[in-house]
Amino acid sequence: MFKFLEMFKKKQPYTIPTVKPTTIHKKDDKTQHDLFLTELENLLASSNLFKVQYIKKYLNLYKTYKPFTGKDHNLLSKQPYFLESLTDEAQQFKKNEIKSYAKNIILLANRRAYAKVTLNRFKEDNLFQEVSLIFPKNELICEKIIAQKRKYHNKTIPISKVPIFPVITCIKCPACHLGIMYKPYIKI
């Protein structure tokens, strides 16, 4: 008779369904972490923002592998030695600018590692032989990426020859790491 009152009963908390990682997921995540460290080292060195002796310290901050977790993009700038680690050239920038560049370095390293793992997965699974590159609107990207966009946008490229984006020179660009996508090309 009073079944409608059951809807007011306290329900069990809702649990979010998750996907259990397979061995392939685990392998790809570990590979992405290793590639991230390589990319991070290259970006820190090529940026000319940090003294050489501090690059190893910054790499050690991310060395520990934690499965399926993101990277703290502000970890570099949180270090007590952050300001002393800057080169003379980098010290001419405003503090907020240099913190933003440090954050971009982590974002770029992560995006480049993710792109490499994704392309390797396409290749290993033999699902796709080619991809198309999709770029964001010109207002969101720098001149270097606009030039790449003219060359590659919506063009089909073999996976073995596709360039890795974002490029390492975009550490001072606020949005170049966003929106460049590898779209699998399926022949019908």
**Domain presence at residue 92:** yes
**Domain presence at residue 77:** no
Overall number of domains in the chain: 1
**Domain presence at residue 47:** yes
**Domain presence at residue 41:** yes
Q: Structural domain of residue 36, as residue ranges?
A: 24-60+86-185
**Domain presence at residue 73:** no
**Domain presence at residue 10:** no
Residues 122 and 184: beta-carbon distance below 8 Å: yes
Residue in this structure with the two tokens 């699998």, named with its chain if needed: 184
**Domain presence at residue 149:** yes
Among 120, 105, 18, which residue's Cα sits nearest to residue 68?
Answer: 18
The pair of three-digit structure tokens given for residue 102, joined into one six-digit string: 């440090």
From first to last of its 188 residues, the chain has per-residue pLDDT tens of 566 666 666 666 666 677 888 999 999 999 999 999 999 999 999 999 999 999 999 999 999 999 999 999 999 999 999 999 999 999 999 999 999 999 999 999 999 999 999 999 999 988 889 999 999 888 888 888 999 999 999 899 999 999 999 888 888 887 777 778 999 988 77
**Domain presence at residue 15:** no
